[in-house]
């Protein structure tokens, strides 16, 4: 066998050996790189979803806070026009914020204008004339239905802001709204008069459906994944 042929065979053998070593190494590195990119994308997407959720919740929080500020200026409005004005504020707030389920305010008896009895039958009043308007966006056709708040006396969204003297967010809880069973989260704040006395509770509600919509982008990118939002206690 010629020496040149032996050298050629040796070179071929070395090349085959090198390929046998390099290909697995490159495969491992490629897999590792792809895995790293996948994890990086998952982290980026999850942060984006979390930021969207936070923005959604904060928007509702500030909306309730704004309504409380507006309601607390009631003494600057002539008594005869207070109910009409505040009804308009509640309805307009819901109309302009598509992701809200409803807006509501529960005034203490005779604390808005001292004329509950005279107001019986007026929009936003219950059978005693107490001003407790509620506006709800329906699931069926997204229309806005005026109503009055009921069965609120022991509800956390009414009791907690009064007890704690500050704005709160509640757990999601089943509630019948405009004839539909919903599971809203409430953002509720105390309404105070010029003397600082709590004279009512105002709030906005959001549904869980929009939070689920936010997470769908994550689930589309990473098929088979699940996502969830939890309260600080982990209860919900």
* Per-residue pLDDT tens digits for 86-139: 999 999 999 999 889 999 999 999 999 999 999 999 999 999 999 999 999 998
Q: Please provide the DSSP assignment of the chain as one string.
A: --HHHHHHHHHHHHHHHHHHHHHHHHHHHHHHHHHHHHHHHHHHHHHHHHHHHHHHHHHHHHHHHHHHHHHTTGGGS-GGGHHHHHHHHHHHHHHH-TTEEEEEEEEPTT-SSS-TGGGTTSTTB-TT--B-EEEEE-TTT--EEEEE--S-TT-HHHHHHHHHTS-EEPPP--EEETTEEE--EEEEEEEE-TTS-EEEEEEEEE-SHHHHHHHHHHHHHSTT-------TTS--
Q: Which CATH number fits domain 53-212: 3.30.1330.50, 3.40.920.10, 3.30.450.20, 3.40.50.300?
A: 3.30.450.20
Q: What is the mean pLDDT of the chain?
A: 81
pTM: 0.77
pLDDT in tens, 44-81: 666 777 787 788 889 999 999 999 999 999 999 999 99
Average pLDDT over residues 150-159: 93
- Residue 26, pLDDT > 90, answer no
- Model confidence at 18, pLDDT cuts 50, 70, 90, reads very low
Q: Which residue has better confidence, 50 or 150? A: 150
Q: What is the pLDDT of residue 179?
A: 86
Asked whether the predicted pLDDT for residue 229 surpasses 50, the reply is yes
């Amino acid at each position: 066998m010629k020496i040149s042929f032996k050298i050629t065979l040796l070179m071929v053998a070395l090349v085959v050996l090198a390929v046998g070593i390099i290909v697995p190494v490159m495969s491992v590195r490629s897999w590792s790189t792809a895995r790293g990119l996948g994890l990086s994308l998952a982290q980026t997407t999850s942060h984006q979803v979390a930021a969207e959720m936070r923005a959604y919740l904060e928007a509702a929080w500030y909306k309730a806070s704004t309504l409380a500020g507006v309601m607390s200026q009631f003494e600057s409005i002539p008594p005869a026009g207070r109910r009409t004005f505040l009804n308009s504020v509640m309805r307009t707030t819901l109309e302009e914020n598509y992701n809200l389920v409803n807006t509501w305010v529960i005034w203490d008896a005779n604390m808005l204008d001292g004329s509950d009895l005279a107001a019986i039958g007026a929009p936003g009043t219950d059978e005693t004339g107490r001003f407790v308007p509620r506006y709800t966006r329906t699931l069926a056709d997204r229309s806005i239905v005026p109503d009055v708040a009921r069965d609120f006396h022991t509800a956390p969204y009414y009791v907690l802001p009064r007890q704690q003297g500050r704005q709160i967010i509640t757990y999601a809880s089943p509630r019948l709204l405009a004839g539909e069973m919903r599971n809203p989260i409430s953002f509720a704040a105390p309404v105070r008069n010029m003397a600082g006395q709590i004279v009512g509770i105002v709030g906005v509600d959001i549904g869980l459906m929009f939070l689920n919509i936010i997470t769908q982008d994550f689930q589309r990118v990473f098929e088979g994944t699940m996502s969830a939002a939890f309260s600080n206690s982990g209860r919900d």
